[in-house]
Chain A
Amino acid sequence: MRYVTVWCPDWPVVAAGVAAGVPAVVLHANRVVARSPAAAAEGVLQGQRRRDAQRCCPDVLLLDHDPDRDARAFEPVVRAVGRFAPRLEVVEPGWSCLDARGPSRYFGGDQRLAEQLMSAVREHAGRIAVGVGVADGRFASAVAARRAAGGRGPMVVDPGGSAAFLDRLPVAWLQHVGEADAELVGLFARMGLARLGDLAALPAGDVLARFGPAGRHAHRVASADDDRSANAEEPPPERRVEQCFEDPVVQVQPLVFVGKHLADQLVAELAAEGQVCTRLVVTAETEHGERTERAWYRAAGLSAPAMVERVRWQLDGWMAAGEVSAGVVLLRLAPDEVRGDDGDQLRLWGGPSAADERAARAVTRLAGMVGDDGVLVPAWHGGRLPGDRYGWVPASTTDLTDPDDTAQRLRPDLNGPWPGSLPAPSPAVVPPEAQTATLTDATGELVRVSGRGELSAAPARLTIGDRSAQTVIGWAGPWPLDERWWEPPRHRRLARLQVVTADGTAHLVLAEHRHWWVAASYG
């Protein structure tokens, strides 16, 4: 089947209204999801961490990822494209595609259709960058549109020429277009399958045996054989779920809420048969007969939250366009294409959980309230004193949901043992700064530690700061410590004592330069 894809590059940045020439990135979970051309010119990459992007381009403008904003801004483009063919599919904001056959005949060929689409989008949606590609198969047309976005005109691949068109392209395109994940693409590349043609040349059965359903899908896509998903079928009409409203609903929020119920129901029904919906048609009708109908496509299958998101996008855009004169009386979700769910399962281990995502979001928000230096996570530094072993680093410099990053931050085993550190238990109260103290013997004289690590007398009273003196009921040590003698500015020579006072608390007391300090308390 022949498809036209309309693709707007870096749509999240365009939707945020960034002026041309301003380097800007849109971030989600501390990673770049889109960047402006100016930022790209500075070397900012998709998927980069925030700090890396800022290192490439220090004055880059940081924007939050907001799919709803992207969808609202994309509405004019969808309307412009919708004039050519009513049954267009929106894959995600910034990317829609439609069946080319009918419109192409009507407008006099693929080239003419693509040119008209391009000028219509530019006319209705302002001067935005847009790429239009026509080819056999969704994937080939998506690739063509992306390649056309850089140039001036549309890109038309001749009928039957999709396989040849894809043949010389790198396998990374599978990842760009979202047909395969980075892991699989990386594996292909490491195995020497550098180009889509290399992958397509393999026997389909071998690819399935080695890479599973994901690999089979990648193989079909690379062979330009992706008219439909492998086992796609049209579901019977009774599969659709709908809700009629006695009282017309005028607000979006309650409708979205109803949409959530419908989506949950639909997904549960399909899941009971081991199926997943890849193409969903959302329909809403008002009392006065105004109607919106749109198809949403997602190769990986639409989950219930994804369906709800699309319902919200569609209704937001419809209501905002001012074509609605009455309340909505009907909301319908109809699966248009379903396929067997061949295991897009969550990973058993490792993937970020909902709690992780929630915490990461809260951390971002907190950093906005108290500054980056106020939101801290522990990091292993290594050392022999309680405050030295773990330090605190700003949470914004790490990716909390990335297990590799976290493991690297907290990896105590790489630095070897720290001979001379005190055994567990460790003090629970480690003030950021050591407090001054005095440790005196029974006669009231200050206790001294000799150069050989011996106490001048048994300690009898401990006074911390300006608090009242406490009687020492037990003490151990001193344990001398001579650190970094090879580096004079950071050289420390001290003795440690564990002191238990009569009130039942224990302290780690340091003697350094003939002064006593309380470094930590076992609170």
Chain B
Amino acid sequence: MDLAAAVAPTTLARQRTLPVSSPLIPLFPDGALVRGRAVSCQGVAATSLALAIAAEPTTAGAWAAVVDVPWLGVEAAVELGIPLERLVRVDPGPNGSKSEWADLVGAVLDGFEVVVTRVPRHLSATVARRVQARVQAREAVLITVGSSAGTGAAGRGPLPLDLTLETTAAVWEGVEQGWGCLRGRRVTVTSAGRRIPRPRQVEVWLPGPGGGVAAVENVETEPVLRSVG
């Protein structure tokens, strides 16, 4: 650390960060997840992308909570690099209201640095601001997962999002007409947000062969062998 940084009187918000895995770095204006901000993952690969973003901070020792995402695939989380010993899932009760969601997220933020959640539809602006203030005060990172069906618009609620990551143009590799098996998916991730003048785009394997996230150019597209005769 150089002296200027050591004696700097203040820390800027963008200097308090959590790491993010290297193929996804181009999407983030600060090159990392900035604490106290909300990131939205949308589109076809929303759940995988949310897990991929959460992987690096949890590996570094942060705890991750998954609130109201009961469909989370644990194996995919492992393959994307999330250590399960620091993963907790919280489900609201069967008749949970929107304010209960906010209370729950508030309580989760007290103990977890990474929170993956689904924002309820028709969330009131007051409740959303409360949650946002809590995220900032706790210096956590809130990752919201849009509709898994790919409608894309579910995340555009009243919650002020700092970064929206849209996954589009997903192409699965490895499966043909009746043979092969899924090897990976090439997907285009576009980031847009208040602090980005123009959208950034990156094409990644999500998941790549083996289940992790990888930059597209780094993976050799080896020929798939097909049994004949």
- Name A residues whose Cβ lies closer than 8 Å to a Cβ of B: 353, 355-356, 358-363, 365-366, 369-371, 373-378, 386, 389-390, 392, 395, 400, 403, 406-407, 410, 422-432, 455, 458, 467, 474-477, 498, 500, 503-506, 520-523
CB neighbours (8 Å) of A430 from chain B are: 71-74
Tell me the minimal C-beta distance from B52 to chain A in angstroms.
9
Tell me the minimal C-beta distance from A386 to chain B in angstroms.
6
From A407, A504, A520, give the contact of B169 (CB < 8 A). Answer: A504
Quick one: which of B190-226 are within 8 Å of A by CB?
207-211
CB neighbours (8 Å) of A467 from chain B are: 149
Tell me the minimal C-beta distance from B75 to chain A in angstroms.
4
* Bound Cα distance from A477 to B177, whole angstroms: 10
Tell me the minimal C-beta distance from A495 to chain B in angstroms.
13
Tell me the minimal C-beta distance from A89 to chain B in angstroms.
35
| Contact indicator B73/A374 (Cβ below 8 Å) | no
| Contact indicator B79/A386 (Cβ below 8 Å) | no
* Bound Cα distance from A422 to B180, whole angstroms: 12
* Bound Cα distance from A427 to B71, whole angstroms: 10
| Contact indicator A425/B88 (Cβ below 8 Å) | no
CB neighbours (8 Å) of A523 from chain B are: 44-48, 71, 148
Q: Does B9 contact A (CB under 8 A)?
A: no
| Contact indicator B178/A505 (Cβ below 8 Å) | no
| Contact indicator B88/A395 (Cβ below 8 Å) | yes
Query: B-side binding surface: helix, strand, loop or mixed?
Result: mixed
CB neighbours (8 Å) of B180 from chain A are: 476
CB neighbours (8 Å) of B71 from chain A are: 429-432, 523
* Bound Cα distance from A423 to B181, whole angstroms: 8
| Contact indicator A504/B61 (Cβ below 8 Å) | no
From B46, B88, B91, give the contact of A363 (CB < 8 A). Answer: B88
| Contact indicator A476/B110 (Cβ below 8 Å) | no
CB neighbours (8 Å) of B210 from chain A are: 424-425
| Contact indicator B92/A359 (Cβ below 8 Å) | no
- A432's nearest neighbour on chain B, judged by CB, is B70
5 closest cross-chain pairs (CB), A and B: A362-B111, A390-B74, A504-B170, A425-B207, A426-B75
Residues A429 and B73 in contact in the complex (CB < 8 Å), given A370-B91, A375-B90, A376-B88: yes
From A389, A428, A476, give the contact of B48 (CB < 8 A). Answer: A428
* Bound Cα distance from A361 to B184, whole angstroms: 39
Q: Does B156 contact A (CB under 8 A)?
A: no
* Bound Cα distance from A353 to B65, whole angstroms: 17
Q: Does B175 contact A (CB under 8 A)?
A: yes
Tell me the minimal C-beta distance from B185 to chain A in angstroms.
7
| Contact indicator B175/A506 (Cβ below 8 Å) | yes
* Bound Cα distance from A411 to B172, whole angstroms: 31
Q: Does B166 contact A (CB under 8 A)?
A: no
| Contact indicator B93/A374 (Cβ below 8 Å) | yes
* Bound Cα distance from A409 to B36, whole angstroms: 32
CB neighbours (8 Å) of A370 from chain B are: 90-93, 96, 104
Q: Does B121 contact A (CB under 8 A)?
A: no
CB neighbours (8 Å) of B150 from chain A are: 503-505
| Contact indicator B172/A522 (Cβ below 8 Å) | yes
| Contact indicator B88/A505 (Cβ below 8 Å) | no
* Bound Cα distance from A370 to B94, whole angstroms: 10
| Contact indicator B110/A365 (Cβ below 8 Å) | yes
Please encode chain B, from 154 to 183, with 1 for each CB lying within 8 Å of some chain A CB and 0 for all others: 000000000000000111101111111111
* Bound Cα distance from A356 to B184, whole angstroms: 34
| Contact indicator B111/A522 (Cβ below 8 Å) | no
| Contact indicator B47/A374 (Cβ below 8 Å) | no
* Bound Cα distance from A356 to B62, whole angstroms: 8
- B67's nearest neighbour on chain A, judged by CB, is A366
Task: Pick 15 A–B contacts, CB within 8 A, sort by A.
Answer: A355-B113, A370-B104, A376-B90, A377-B89, A390-B75, A390-B78, A395-B88, A422-B181, A428-B51, A428-B72, A428-B207, A477-B181, A506-B172, A506-B182, A521-B148
CB neighbours (8 Å) of A422 from chain B are: 181
* Bound Cα distance from A423 to B180, whole angstroms: 11
- A427's nearest neighbour on chain B, judged by CB, is B73
| Contact indicator B172/A371 (Cβ below 8 Å) | no
From B61, B73, B110, give the contact of A520 (CB < 8 A). Answer: B73
CB neighbours (8 Å) of A475 from chain B are: 175, 177-178
* Bound Cα distance from A432 to B73, whole angstroms: 10
4 more A-B residue pairs beyond the given contacts A425-B184, A426-B73, A427-B75, with a C-beta to C-beta distance below 8 A: A359-B86, A361-B110, A377-B89, A503-B44
Residues A498 and B110 in contact in the complex (CB < 8 Å), given A356-B63, A506-B175: no
- B147's nearest neighbour on chain A, judged by CB, is A523
Q: Does B2 contact A (CB under 8 A)?
A: no
| Contact indicator B75/A358 (Cβ below 8 Å) | no
CB neighbours (8 Å) of A386 from chain B are: 73, 75
Tell me the minimal C-beta distance from A383 to chain B in angstroms.
10
Tell me the minimal C-beta distance from A518 to chain B in angstroms.
12
* Bound Cα distance from A373 to B87, whole angstroms: 16
* Bound Cα distance from A371 to B100, whole angstroms: 13
CB neighbours (8 Å) of A376 from chain B are: 88-91
| Contact indicator B175/A361 (Cβ below 8 Å) | no
Q: Does B30 contact A (CB under 8 A)?
A: no
| Contact indicator A476/B211 (Cβ below 8 Å) | no
Tell me the minimal C-beta distance from B101 to chain A in angstroms.
11
| Contact indicator A476/B181 (Cβ below 8 Å) | yes
Please encode chain B, from 102 to 135, with 1 for each CB lying within 8 Å of some chain A CB and 0 for all others: 0110011011110000000000000000000000
* Bound Cα distance from A392 to B66, whole angstroms: 12
* Bound Cα distance from A410 to B85, whole angstroms: 8
From B89, B104, B111, give the contact of A359 (CB < 8 A). Answer: B111
| Contact indicator B107/A476 (Cβ below 8 Å) | no
- A500's nearest neighbour on chain B, judged by CB, is B172
CB neighbours (8 Å) of B70 from chain A are: 431-432
| Contact indicator B84/A378 (Cβ below 8 Å) | yes
CB neighbours (8 Å) of B25 from chain A are: none
* Bound Cα distance from A395 to B72, whole angstroms: 17
CB neighbours (8 Å) of A455 from chain B are: 178
| Contact indicator A366/B104 (Cβ below 8 Å) | yes
Q: Does B76 contact A (CB under 8 A)?
A: yes
Tell me the minimal C-beta distance from B138 to chain A in angstroms.
10
| Contact indicator B87/A366 (Cβ below 8 Å) | no
| Contact indicator B74/A378 (Cβ below 8 Å) | yes
| Contact indicator B73/A371 (Cβ below 8 Å) | no
Tell me the minimal C-beta distance from B139 to chain A in angstroms.
12
* Bound Cα distance from A505 to B48, whole angstroms: 12
CB neighbours (8 Å) of B44 from chain A are: 503-505, 523
* Bound Cα distance from A407 to B44, whole angstroms: 33
CB neighbours (8 Å) of A498 from chain B are: 175, 181-182
- A410's nearest neighbour on chain B, judged by CB, is B84
* Bound Cα distance from A377 to B77, whole angstroms: 13
